Amino acid sequence: MRYYRDEAIVLGGHKLGEADRIVVLLTREHGLVRAVAKGIRRTKSKFGSRLEPFMFVDLQAHVGKSLDIVTQVELKEPFARGIMADYDVYSAATVMAETAQKLTEDEPRTRGQFLLLLSAIRSLCNMEHPPRQSLDAYLLRAMSLAGWAPSLVDCAQCGMPGPHRGFSAALGGTVCTDCRPHGTALTSTSAVNHMAALLTGDWTVAAVTPVHTALEASRLVTAYVHWHLERRVRSLNVLERT
């Protein structure tokens, strides 16, 4: 029987049978893991609340045929407690966890995504920035790490130096007048500048962005992430059929 030990962030899970739970974890060295925590829903479970979403744990598991089996869990940082206490923080953390799961599904190397998620959740818990800005910064960085960095100055299509006022999720970011597909909404350059500040961690710039500009940037980030993640999920479906 093969065992492993690793650091992990709990992303979610669901009930299994009477007393067990399948837990989804993003580990530092073993990628995205689905593991069974036996007896976790009994009152006297040895796992306690350590496998609730957003807990940062030290995990021991043995490799099963389809699912791994959790044998031991030690709590490293109880992020869940800070996150559950505030609705905006909870919403942001939920989107972070879902995005991290989608980006690491079937990826053998996930250390970068693990470290990014860990620092994002820690920062969120410490209320270092407004939750929505922490989320947008995380999303932009996670997408970049996955190879989908948005173009935020030059035209994503032809490379013409920017700034430009068109933003196309499908084409990969800002686009010039010539490349802009018909019907592309025009954006303010300040919203795109705000995204650039979030991506590079320039929080002094991001902190003074007017609320309506930050909201416009949030909508662009969401559209961008949705477009790429849906395409990724679709491409995975195609792979599974062939």
Which residues of the chain form contacts with Zn ion (CB under 5 A)?
Answer: 155, 157-158, 160, 176, 179
Q: How far is the CB of 86 from Zn ion (least distance, A)?
A: 42
Residue closer to Zn ion, measured from CB, 64 or 159: 159
CA torsion 156-179-137-94 (nearest 10°) is -120
Q: How far is the CB of 200 from Zn ion (least distance, A)?
A: 23
Residue closer to Zn ion, measured from CB, 65 or 182: 182
Q: How far is the CB of 232 from Zn ion (least distance, A)?
A: 25
Q: How far is the CB of 172 from Zn ion (least distance, A)?
A: 11
Q: How far is the CB of 157 from Zn ion (least distance, A)?
A: 4
Residue closer to Zn ion, measured from CB, 120 or 155: 155
Residue closer to Zn ion, measured from CB, 108 or 183: 183
Residue closer to Zn ion, measured from CB, 140 or 179: 179
